[in-house]
Structure 1
Amino acid sequence: MNWTTRQSAFITLLAMLFGLGMIFILAYQVNSSYQVEVQRTRLEAAHQSSEIASQISSSLREIDIILKDLSDKISPDDLSNTEKSSARNQELQNILLDKLLQIHQADNIMLVSSNSNISHRALDTPGSGQLINNDYFQLVRNNRYQEKIYASLSNRSENTGIIVARRVESLTADFSGLIVASVTRNYLDGLLSNQNIGKHASIHLIDQNKGILAKYPAHASAPLFDDFVIQNLINGKESSVLINHTEPSQSISSYHPIKDTPFIVVVNASSEDYLLLWHKNTLYYLFGGGILLVMALLMCYFFWRSHRLTQNLHKKEKYLNASEARFRQMIETSPVAIVLARMPDYFITYINHQAAELFDQTQAGALSQRAFELYKSKLTFLEQVQRIQQGDAQHNIEVLLQRKDGQPFWGNLSMSVHETNQSTTIMIGISDITSKKQLEADLQHRATIDSLSGLFNRAYFTERANHEIARAKRNQQPLIVIMLDIDHFKKINDNWGHDTGDIAIQSLAGLCQSTLRDIDIIGRIGGEEFAILLPETDLEKGFPVAERLRQRIEAQRISLTDKQTLQFTASLGLTILEADDQKIDRILKRADQALYQAKHEGRNQTVIFNKQ
C-alpha cells in the first residue's frame, strides 16, 4: 500500500502533538512536585515550631506552678534587705533548694527585693547578679496587675536564657519584690537539639527584640528575622510561615509565639534540604520524558507498518461488528447494569450504558480497566470467580463495589461464565442497593444509639453489657459498673432552659468518651443518668477512673451563646461484678444504690457499693 502525502503529514503532526503534550505534562509534573515539596515543608515547619513552643510553654508553666507554691511559703519580709537571723536565712535557702530540685529546667531560684537586689538564692553561682533590666523592673513594680513575669536574662552575655518570676505583695498590696527562677541557655539548647531537622535547617528562640536566647545547631547563623511578622505576633497573630528568597537558596521560616510570653520560636528550613529529593526526581522525569519521546517516534513507525495488517483484518471486523452490534443493542436495552470481562486477565470487554452510569464513567473509559477494579476488594471478586468455576452459582450476592472516584456503594450481583472455543467470558449483572443498605444502617443506628448524646441507648447498652458480663465470667475477669447522674439537673433546665440541659448532656457524653477507653461501654439510660461498664477492671483500677471522670466534669466550663458559663457536677455510684451476677440489672441496681448514697451525702462524689 502506498502512503499519500496527506497521510504522512498527519502522522508527523500526530507525533509532534504527542511530543508537545509530553513536554507539557513533564513541566506540569515538575512544577506540581515542587509546589508539593514547598507546601509539605511549610506544614512541617509550622507543626515543628508549634510543638517546640508548646514544650517550652509547658516547661515555663511547670516553673510558674512551683514559684506560686513557693510564694505561699515566703513572707514579704523575707524579700526585704533587712537583717535576718542566720536560722531564717538558712531556712529560706533550704526552701529554695528544695523547690529548685523539683524543676530541672531552672538552674537557680532567687528572692529579689523591691529595689531589685537579690536577697536570697538557692545556689551561689557566679554571674547571677542583676537578672532584670532596671527599666523593665520598674514597669513590673508599677504594674500591680502583672502577677507573672517572663523576660530575658539581663547581663549574661555568656549564658543567655529566660527568667520566670512571680510578684509578691504585702498585706497592704504594696510591691515587696519577686520570686525568680532562671532558665539558662544550656537547657533551652538541649530542648531544641531534640528536634529532627535538616542538615542546613536551624531553630532559634528569640525575644520580641530579636535577641537570640537559644538556637540549634550551635553553629547556625541567625537568619534575617522579619520585623513585620514579629510585630504581627506581638499584636496577637497566632503564627506565620513565609518563604525567604535569598541567594544562593531560598528558605521557609515558621514563626510561632509562646503563649503569654514575649518569646518566639523560629524554625528555618533550607531549600538545600527540602528540595534535594525534588532535584533528583526532576532528573528522572526528564530522563523518562526523553525515553517516552523516543518511544513515540517508534510507535509512529510501527503504526505505519501495522496499517496494512489493519486493512486485511477490516473485512473480518465488519462481520464481527455486525454481530456484536446486535448483541450490544440487546444489552443496552436491558434495565440491569451488565459488564463483560474476558478470562484470565479479567479485562472489561463491554459495559452497557446502565453500568457506565452506575460506576460514574464513560463506556469507552471502562474498557481499559479490569473487572476486579469495580470491586472494593479484589479478593472478593477472585473468590466469586473461583466459586463459579467450581459450579457454585452466584446469584443475588450483596457486594461492596466502588465508583471511578473510589466512592463505595452496595450492589446486588449475579455472575456467570460463558465459554466458547476461542475465549471464556464472565458476565456480571448488577443492581444498585445503596439506598437499601443505607436504610438498614439508619434503622440499626436508631435502634442502638441515643439521638441526643450519641451514646448507646438503654436497650443496646443492656445487650452489650450482658454479653460482656458473660465473657468476663467465662474468662474469670473482673468488671466494674458505674452509674452517673448530673447533680441538680432539674435546676439547669429550670434556670437555663431545656436547650442548655441538652448541651450539658452532650458535653458530659463527650467527656465520658474522651476519658474512658475504647473497650469501655457507655450508655444513656435515663434523662440525666448514664451507665458505664469497664471490662477487665478491678476496684483498685476502677475507682481512680471514676474519680478522674468526676473531676473532669467538675472542672469543665461550657460557654453559652449569651456569654455566660455553665458549670455542673456529677455523682457516681460504683460496684463490681459478683459471683452470682448473670445479668446487668442486678449490677445496675447496686450501682444505683451507691449513686443514691453519693447524692444523699452531698453530691459531687464517687461512692463504692457496700453490702453493709
Structure 2
Amino acid sequence: MSLSKKIFRRFAAAQWIELAIALFVLGGLIAYNIAREHQRVEAVERDRLATQARVISRNLEFQLKGANQALLGVLEELREQSLLHHKVDTQHLRLLANAMPGIRAISVFDNQGNLISSNYPEFVGQNFSHREYFTTVKEHPSRETLYISKPFKGLNGRYLINVTRMVPDKAGGFAGIVTATLNPEYFTTLLTSVLYAPDVESSLAHGDGLLFIVEPAREGHAAQESRMIAQRIVQSGLLKMDKSLDVTVSRDTEAIFESWRHTSLIEIGFFLLFTIFSVSFLYIYQKHQRRYEQLATASALALERSEKLFRSTYDSAAIGMALLNLGGRFIKANQALCNIVGYTEEELCQKTFAEITHPDDLEANRSLMRELVAGACVNYQMEKRYFHKDGRIIWILLTGSATHDSRNEVLYFVVQIQDINEQKALQEKLKTQAFQDYLTGLPNRRHFMEQAAIELARVARYGGELSLLMVDVDNFKKVNDTYGHQTGDRVLQKLGEVSKAILRDVDLIGRIGGEEFAILLPETDGEKAREVAERLRVAIAHESLILEMGVPLQFTVSIGVATIADHAINLDTFLARADTALYHAKTTGRNKISLAH
C-alpha cells in the first residue's frame, strides 16, 4: 500500500471518530434536555392540580364552618324554646339557607324522624327516620360531632349530602337532629370553576368512598387511560367531623405531555436528520476524494467514446438530424433528413433552413432560435412545414438545441426532424369525424347541439326570432326491410342533399339520430318556418332514387315546427316541443307538417 493511501485512510478514520464523538455529545445534550423538560412539565402540572384541589378544599371548609355555625344557631334557638316544644320559625330558616350559597335546606327533626321545621314547609310533617343521616346520629349520638352523611337521592331525584348535628334533651340524650342539606348546584359550579383544560376532571366524594359530584360528567375513562391526580381531604379538627369529604382534581397524562412529546419528537427528528446528513456528507465527501483521480481518467475515456457514439448515431439515425451555423445554413445533414426533404446532403448544405420553410412558420422558428441563443431556453420543439424538393408541403416535428463553447457562446445549432405527415392527416380526419356525420356529411348530433346552444344563447341575450324543424323519414324501417340498409343510407343522403339545396347558408342542419334530422332557422318566425318546412316536404316528395334494374323509389318526410315564444326557454325544451309536433304529424297521416303550440 502506498504512503498516500495510508495517510488518507488514517485521515478518514480520524474524521469518522470526530464525527461520532460530536454526535454522541449532541445526542446526550438533547436527551438531557428532553428529560429535564419532562420533569419540569410534570412538576408544574402537579403544582397546578394541587392548587386547584386546595382552592376547592378551602372553599368546602369555609362552607362547612358556615353550615356548622348555622346549625349551632338553630340549636341555640331550640334550647331557648325548651328544646322541641316549639317549632323554629320557617322564615328564619329560609333566611339562613339563602344567606349561604352552599346550603340548600335547613331542617329540624324530632327523635322519631318527623320533620317539624324547614325552609321547605311543604315537607313538614313527613317522617324521614329511614334516612342514613338520621339513623347514624340516633345510633351514635354525640353533641360535639358534626355528622357528614353519605350521598343519597333526594325527593327531587338529585344526589345530596347532609351536614347534621344532634339536638340534645335536658339529660343530654338524643332528642332529634338539625341538618343542613348541601346545595349540589353550588358545588357543581365550584368544581367546574377549576377546570382549566378540556381533560381536567374534578370530583367530590364522601369519606367512605361514595362519589358525590364529578365535573365534567363522564360515562367513564378509557381502560388504558392514565391520569395525574391531586387529592385533598376536607376534615377540620375544629369541627370534629365524623367523616371527611375528599376532593380530587386530575388530568389525562396523555394531554399533559402532548406538547412535550411533540417538541421531543421534533428535537429527535432534527437530530436524526442531522446525523443522517452528517454521515452521508462525510461518506460522499470521502468517496469523492477517493475517486477523484479515477473519475478524471474515466471522464476523458467516456468523452472519447461518446463522440464516437454520436458520430455513429448521427449517421445511422432513423430521424432526420442536421447541424446549422448561426446564420441558419445547413453544415451537415444525415441520410434520414435527406430522405424527408428529397435533397442530397450537398444540396442542403447550399441552402438555409429559411429557404425550405413555409413562410407562415418562418418567424416562429426564428423567434425560438433567438431565445436559444439568448439562453432563455435550453431547447425548443415545434411543428412546422417544409417544402419538399418536388414542391409539395410536408409536416415535420423539429427539436432544436445549441452547442456552446467554453465561454458559453453558441457555436452551432443541432436539429432533429421527424416526418409527421401521416399523423397530421390522421388528426384532420379525427377532427372532421368529431363533428360530422360519416354518412351524410352533415353536422352530427354533438356538433348540432353545441351550435344550437350558442344560437339559443344569442337569441336570449339580443332577442330575435328562432325556429326549429324536426324532420323524420316516413316508414324508414319499411324501406330498410324491403330494399336493404344500403338503400336506406341513400335515402338519408338524398334527404341531406335536398335540404342543403333549399336552406340558407345561415341555417343549421344536423343528423341527430337514425332517420331524424334537426334544422335551426335563425331570424325566422313561425309562419316563415312553416313555409320553409313545406318547401322542403314538397321537394323531398318529388325526389326519387333509381334502384337496381332502373326501379324508382320515392319517399316522404314528416316535419315538426317549433318557434321560440319565450326567450328564457332552454334547448331541451325547445327540442321537445318540435319533437312533439313531429310526433303529431306522423300519427295523423305522415307526409305533413305540424306546428308546435
Settle same-fold status: TM greater than 0.5. Answer: no
- TM (norm. structure 2) is 0.42
- TM (norm. structure 1) is 0.41
Larger Rg: 2
